[in-house]
Amino acid sequence: MRPARPSPIIQALEALAADERVKRAEEALRDASAELRWHEALRRRWREARAEAAVRGAVASAAVEGAVLPAAILRDAVAERALTEASTGDSSLDAAAGLWRAGVRLTEWMPDLRGEGRPTQPSPRTLLTALHRDVAGPLAATGRIPLDAVAIPRAAGRSPIEGGPGTAPDGEVLRSRIEALLELIDAPGAPALVRAAIAHGEMVTARPFTAANAAVGRLLVRHLITRDGLEPTGVAVTDQYAARVPVAYADAASAYASGEPDGVVAWIVWQAEAILVGIEEAQSICRSIQAGTTRPPTHTDR
């Protein structure tokens, strides 16, 4: 019996993964990831490290969306149990809090670093809707988007309210893009870096929701690289690079939206750079934990 041929999506991802630029980027990532995995701070305090990564990731991602907030303010709000409502009256804190809730949710789907615990993974549709509910909830609570735009893909004829590269698809084209994204997330054997990059790129360009698409795309990267073992600690702050160099982020997204092979490869390489910066931030988190300068949140309200 002949072995089954890979699906068209897997074949396309493998072709991208075979590009020499992508292979070099992934090799550098795996080296950096292996070094992080065996950091002394992660032997017993990996939960604390993941919690801090959720805070720093939320603050970085909020900055990409134009909501600037010091990490200390979010940490204090978490410690004081001040984030039980979708709206606090502070729009920047609300934005960061929604992203923090989503980041905490991701940690609950991550495997333990010590022992054999591996939580059941959500379906792709559940993953997208849960993350979007966390991130977009504060937007609905303050009237910036309607309630029926939370965790529900855009209806035909409804345009996204956030910008992005190219024209957002609509109608049947949008439905096809969403179905392909769901298949991509769950496709067995997909190359990890390419999968994460393409999932992020589809969120940025197809913009399946009315708002918060890019933010959910960045969260998907953290989820996928941890689930697929590319960065198994779950401590990499993969939003950091986009916050530091937003113009480069926009340029890379435009290259992806072009649909040209070189543009897609450029986006994947940019995504690898972002993960590398995230791993560097993870090393910083580990050093802070060892030095006792990171105060862990006292609970994980969502």
Residue 40 DSSP class: G
Residue 217 lies in a domain: yes
Task: Quote the CA–CA distance of 160 and 212 in Å, as a whole number.
Answer: 9
Residue 299 lies in a domain: no
- How far apart are the two ends of the chain, measured CA to CA in Å? 50
Model confidence at 85, pLDDT cuts 50, 70, 90, reads: confident
pLDDT on residue 115: 72
Residue 97 lies in a domain: yes
Residue 139 lies in a domain: yes
Tell me which of 83-92, 131-140, 161-170, 267-276 is least confident. Answer: 83-92
Model confidence at 295, pLDDT cuts 50, 70, 90, reads: low
Domain containing residue 181: CATH number: 1.10.3290.10
- Give me the number of domains the chain comprises: 1
Q: Residue 116 is encoded by which pair of tokens? A: 């054999």
Q: Residue 268 is encoded by which pair of tokens? A: 């994947």
- Name the region of 151 (left: φ>0; alpha: ψ -120 to 50; beta: rest): left
Residue 297 lies in a domain: no
pLDDT tens digits, one per residue of 110-162: 999 987 778 999 999 999 999 999 999 999 999 999 999 999 999 999 999 99
Task: Quote the CA–CA distance of 271 and 201 in Å, as a whole number.
Answer: 9
pLDDT tens digits, one per residue of 200-240: 999 999 999 999 999 999 999 999 999 999 999 999 999 99
pLDDT on residue 205: 98
Average pLDDT, stretch 161-171?
95
> Which residues fall within 8 angstroms of residue 186, CB to CB, at 6 or more apart?
123, 124
pLDDT tens digits, one per residue of 59-72: 999 999 999 999 99
Model confidence at 4, pLDDT cuts 50, 70, 90, reads: low
Average pLDDT, stretch 45-71?
97
Domain that holds residue 251: 8-291
pTM over 0.85: yes
Model confidence at 2, pLDDT cuts 50, 70, 90, reads: low
Residue 85 lies in a domain: yes
Residue 298 lies in a domain: no
Residue 302 lies in a domain: no
